[in-house]
Structure 1
Amino acid sequence: MDLIKQIVERAKANKQRIVLPEGTEERTITAADQLLADGVADIILIGDTKEIKDLAVSLNLKNIGKATILDPQSYEKKEAYTNLLFELRKAKGMTIGQAAKLAEDPLYIGCLMIKNGDADGEIAGAQNTTGDVLRPALQIIKTAPGISVVSGAFLMFTTQKQYGKDGLLVVADCAVTPDPTASQLAEIAVATGRTARALVGEEPHVAILSFSTKGSAKHPMVDKVIEATQLAQKIDPAMNIDGELQADAALVPSVGQQKAPDSKVAGHANVLVFPSLEVGNIAYKLVQRLGNAEAVGPILQGMAAPVNDLSRGCSVSDVYNMVAIAANQAIAAKNK
């Protein structure tokens, strides 16, 4: 897990403003205290000011005073955020009254802060569902230029050091889009390559996976992967992307050489893109449980700014790590 240490160090060296809308959630505020102690990010906690301060005292947290605390009922920019949300959503039928009510919702406030330039990224999900976290993000922050679909990547730290970067692979989509079209799959492939570049610091070699390698089987599902590969290569011609590749052809040099001798990716993939969410979710959980791999994520990608979703079963260290990851995503976005 040396990579996580590197991600944390990069965050410390270029501190970003990360907003935590679930500011009165125990794991979240505990992680925030440690993040502030370590100087990983500038933390913004959303929640009732007294409740946050009382919780910090009861948990014996010493650094929450360094955080910015935003009370949803009485914050300074409430009217400005209401007007911003109304302007963004009035074409969809939102009234100024509805905007004013949503401008008191911490998940909406967090996204409005990012949209207004008052924060660089957001972490939520310890208390809220993925749908609740994503809804305001898609309405307010929207997807990145050239990307129409959000997906979820995992950093998979495996014990098989011969694959990826010393056993580290970036895999997607494992969390969001159930049955992507060819064009969506192409965007997921490019977005996952960019995630790998931002977090791992390695040039991505992206394999779009299938049950076929270079025409070994014929099926509409294979055709989708072939089309997605061609589209992805057009979206980012400089990125090493190839498909359709079976998992062993993507990972094992001897198999890659045998099945796809002309491929720059086959046998050298460090990014694996699954043809559907069903495949991706099953695959990463099997590798995690049967292969004793460490899975860090999901890291939401495709958004115009970092918004990451936690599992409601997350640990304090999960929150800590995801804040550092969001900070690295924000740094990468600013350096484009």
Structure 2
Amino acid sequence: MTSFIDQIIGQARELNKTICLPEGDDIRVQNAAKIIEEKGIAKVVMLGSQTPAEIEALKPELAHELYELRKKRGMTEEEALELINDELYLAMMLLKTKKVDGVVAGSTHATGDVLRPALQIVKTAPGSRLVSAFFIMCVPDCEFGEDGIFVFSDCGLNVNPDQEELACIAIQSAESFENFTGATPRVAMLSHST
């Protein structure tokens, strides 16, 4: 498993991307950012009380772009100016305007609070009507999966999906597995019961 994690870290180093961490006031996020930067995994932009001055200076421009994106849904310029002070909305606007390459959030915010600005601003991938989630599980000394690597899909995001949604989740998960491992995915579905 270490080799898989090392592979992901190596790919991240090569890509040299900039990742925004909107929950920068959380000590766990601060510690993670320090490790990421020390190991050269990515460049980090932290938001919160330590939001960089150059990001603060972008807020009026980003608020205007947020307004333009959401005005058809009834957002006013004043609401956009207020929302851009929310670290999650600011992070998603930084991503939308390509000032950062990715956002990692959820340590202090609920899933719904992270997804709301993501879906309003970044939206789903072209052709996708559904957002799903997955966990990569690395099981040492396991003969199953791809050398013990599994993708467990949508363990809590889509509650009670219908057959079309299940098919979409399975396809998205298979694509994600292949993207991460380079291996041909094999899909199985487990029934949930209580």
Q: If the length of structure 1 is used for normalisation, what is the TM-score?
A: 0.54
Q: Which runs of 4+ in 1 moved over 4 A?
A: none
> Which residue of 2 is the match for residue 103 of structure 1?
84
Query: Which residue does 1:28 correspond to in 2?
Result: 29
Alignment of 1:10-29 (within 5 A): 10-29=11-30
Aligned to 2:57: 76
| Structure with higher strand content | 1
Deviation, structure 1 residue 152: 1.4
1:178 equivalent to 2:179? Answer: no
Larger Rg: 1
The Cα offsets for residues 257-292 of structure 1, whole Å up to 9 and x where unpaired, read as: xxxxxxxxxxxxxxxxx56xxx29x8xxxxxxxxxx
| CA drift at 1:197 | 1.6
Would you say the 8 A contact 1:153–1:175 is kept in 2? no
Alpha-carbon shift at residue 91 of structure 1 (Å): 1.1
Equivalent residue letter for 2:149: L
Aligned residue number for residue 46 of structure 1: 47
- In structure 2, the CA distance between the partners of 1:160 and 1:175, relative to structure 1 (3 Å rule), is farther
CA RMSD of aligned residues (A): 1.9
- Alignment-derived partner of residue 115 in structure 2: 134
1:118 to 71, 78, 99: 99
Q: Does the 8 Å contact 1:157/1:169 carry over to 2? A: yes
Structure 1: which amino acid aligns with 2:111?
T
Tell me the CA shift for residue 71 of structure 1.
Answer: 5.5
TM-score (norm: length of structure 2): 0.92
Whole-Å separation in 1 of the counterparts to 2:124 and 2:184:
23
How far apart are 1:28 and its partner, in Å?
0.3
Give the counterpart letter for 2:150 in structure 1: L
Does the CA-based 8 Å contact 1:22-1:127 persist in structure 2?
yes
SS of corresponding position for 1:205: coil
Percent identity of the aligned residues? 36
Unpaired runs of 5+ residues, structure 2, are none
Shift of 1:6: 1.0
1:145 aligns with one of 102, 105, 126: 126
**Does the 8 Å CA contact 1:47/1:71 hold for their aligned counterparts?**
no
**Paired letter, 2:175:** R
Q: 2:72 aligns with which of 82, 85, 91?
A: 91
- Return 5+ residue gaps in structure 1 as ranges: 50-68, 210-273, 283-336
Equivalent residues, number: 193
SS of corresponding position for 2:56: coil
> Which position in structure 1 is the counterpart of 2:168?
187
